[in-house]
Amino acid sequence: MASYNSIRKDSAEFAFIRILVDQTDKAIHLLSKNDFIFDAMPVITIELENKPGSLAAVVNKYGEQGININYVYGTVSSPDEKCLFVFCPEDIDRAAKIFS
């Protein structure tokens, strides 16, 4: 059986699917029960205005505090709605304090 770290090194044989859940323990139980290989990572979600510069403002705040972002992705439903961005910073505790 492959481990999560081996998947990260050899992604040609595996696909990554990132999911956001509101019941982490239940999700972990179901994934384990069904023999999925997974890793749980804490992330920060932020709703941003759908306008130029919104993402840059958030990223700059991380940079000013010296917090590296491992990955970020976002989505938007329409030009009139806010965007939801998901950040996985190296230091989740320090990053969370920026926006609290």
HSE-CB at 29 with a 13 A cutoff on CA atoms is 4
Range of the domain at 6: 1-39
| Same domain for 94 and 55 | yes
- Residue 74: predicted pLDDT: 92
Quickly list H helices, the chain: 4-9, 24-33, 54-64, 92-98
| Same domain for 2 and 26 | yes
| Same domain for 59 and 31 | no
The pTM of this model reads 0.76
Distance (Å, rounded) from C-alpha 85 to C-alpha 89? 12
pLDDT averaged per 10 residues, the chain (length 100): 54 76 94 90 92 94 94 87 93 90
